[in-house]
Amino acid sequence: MTEDIADGLKARAARAFEERFGTAPGALAFAPGRVNLLGEHTDYNGGYVLPMPLALGTAIAIGPGGRPGRIRLASESFEDEEDRCIEDRASGAWSDYVLGCVAAAARDIAAETGLRAMIASNLPVGAGLSSSAAIEVCTLRALHGLKGKPLDPVEAALEARRVENHFVGMPCGIMDQFVVSVGRAGRALFLDTRRLTHREVALPGRYRVAVIHSGVSHKLTEDGYAARVAECNAACAALGVEFLGDLGPADLDRVGGLDSPLAERARHVITENQRVLKAVHALSSGDSSGFARLMIESHASQRDDYAVSVPEVDALVNGALDLGAAGARLTGGGFGGSVVAMVAANRAVEFCKGIEAAFPQARLLSLS
Ligand code: ADP
Ligand code: MG
């Protein structure tokens, strides 16, 4: 199923490439989006996360050609095509993500022959499902394919994050790129973002994971994400630690002495980290209701302490719980985006119908 989706998207990208550029691409690659089950805003604080790759994703077809030093980029679903120079800096355009990867991994080919690329995706952009990491990782995979060079998944994740941090200018942590590059669809990945140790964790078979878009779009480079990163850095400086993830429950009193909102931001990071550890323990011991409760607590902490939710998302979380979800929370960077809910498998269809009826602006994106 997942392979079919990836192959289908690669074939769409290849077909669109041939139609636009009149020649076959030199390499094709796919990378998935992801949903984060627990551990929000902990990754850039050196903490723990529990994301899962989805069946949805992004494919790219890429090949040499055009003019030396130029990169022609098109997206199958966009009418538009962008023509960039390998020496360009980020401009705020969607092509920045691809250009940054080319500049990092294939500057030589781009300078010598030029490049052409076509994107095909079924991943909603700005929905909190990490379309940005998907486009970065599939581009790096395709560029290595073009060069005939192997690409280590962890190296790809680190390179993609560098592109997003330093080229695009988004100060994200490593979670998205890591799970998109290293994880397997439908399997939760427990990741220590400080040490990059990781392992898969089985989800309870009697439940399904629903991802529902709230109808409120975000663009992380334009919203409060960078402000939260800056607040965490300020809290670290005030507390004399390198990462908030280095702190534990014993530090909560000390953290409470910080000025507002640094105290609340740091409290979210500390409690969220503990929730991920508890969640991994709950899942490993078959305690699915314990896991669901942690999702609900995580949402409250994001809403009250981290202030990254919006009223439409809060209403959707409450609505999902009213409609029988065992757990539900805002997932992704926040300020809009999506909700992840854990629903009993035998009630999933009824649940989705209930959400559609009660929230006309919401959209079911994935049920896995
Ligand atoms: P998220 O990663 O949660 O979807 P971001 O704001 O981090 O949201 O990244 C979204 C940006 O990534 C878009 O604004 C666009 O620039 C780029 N992008 C992602 N997927 C595509 C795509 N299929 N086609 C064009 N641009 C894309
Ligand atoms: Mg992103």
Look up the CATH number of the domain holding residue 77. Answer: 3.30.230.10
CA distance 83 to 86: 10
Residues 171 and 250 grouped into a single domain: no
Ligand 1 atom nearest to CA at 337: 3
CA distance 75 to 31: 15
Q: What is the mean pLDDT of residues 289-302?
A: 98
Report yes or no on 196 lying in a domain.
no
Report yes or no on 292 lying in a domain.
yes
Nearest of 217, 234, 245 to residue 40 by alpha carbon: 245
- The predicted-structure confidence for 66-122, as pLDDT tens digits, reads as follows 899 999 999 987 777 999 999 999 999 999 999 999 999 999 999 999 999 999 999
Which residue shows structure tokens 């990462």? 243
Residues 15 and 164 grouped into a single domain: yes
Report yes or no on 9 lying in a domain.
yes
State the pLDDT confidence band at 47, using cuts at 50, 70 and 90.
very high
Report yes or no on 324 lying in a domain.
yes
- Write the DSSP assignment of 176-244 as a string of letters: HHHHHHH--TT-EEEEETTT--EEEEPPPTTEEEEEEE-S----GGGSTHHHHHHHHHHHHHHHT-S-G
Tell me the CATH number at 300. Answer: 3.30.70.890
pLDDT reading at 223 higher than 90: no
Ligand 1 atom nearest to CA at 75: 24
Four-CA torsion 52, 53, 55, 56, nearest 10 degrees: 110
CB atoms within 10 A of CB 105: 24
The beta strand positions in 39-161, using DSSP E, are 48-64, 70-75, 81-85, 115-121
State the pLDDT confidence band at 127, using cuts at 50, 70 and 90.
confident
Nearest of 185, 182, 159, 181 to residue 35 by alpha carbon: 185
149, 183, 217 — which closes off a domain?
A: 183
CB-proximal residues (5 Å) to ion ligand 2:
130, 132
Answer whether 135 contacts ligand 1 (Cβ < 6 A). yes
Answer whether 126 contacts ligand 1 (Cβ < 6 A). yes
Query: Among the ranges 4-8, 74-78, 192-196, which has the highest mean pLDDT value?
Result: 192-196
CA distance 165 to 138: 17
Residues 13 and 161 grouped into a single domain: yes
Q: Whose CA is nearest to atom 15 of ligand 1?
A: 94
CB atoms within 10 A of CB 367: 17
Enzyme catalytic residues: 176
Can you give the residue range of the structural domain that contains 31?
2-35+54-183
Answer whether 261 contacts ligand 1 (Cβ < 6 A). no
State the pLDDT confidence band at 128, using cuts at 50, 70 and 90.
confident
Characterize 71-101 residue by residue with b for buried, 16 or more Cβ atoms within 10 angstroms of its Cβ, and e for exposed: bbbbbbeeeeebebebeeebeeebbbbbbbb
Q: How many domains does the chain have?
A: 2
Per-residue confidence (pLDDT) for residue 1, from 0 to 100: 58
Report yes or no on 48 lying in a domain.
no
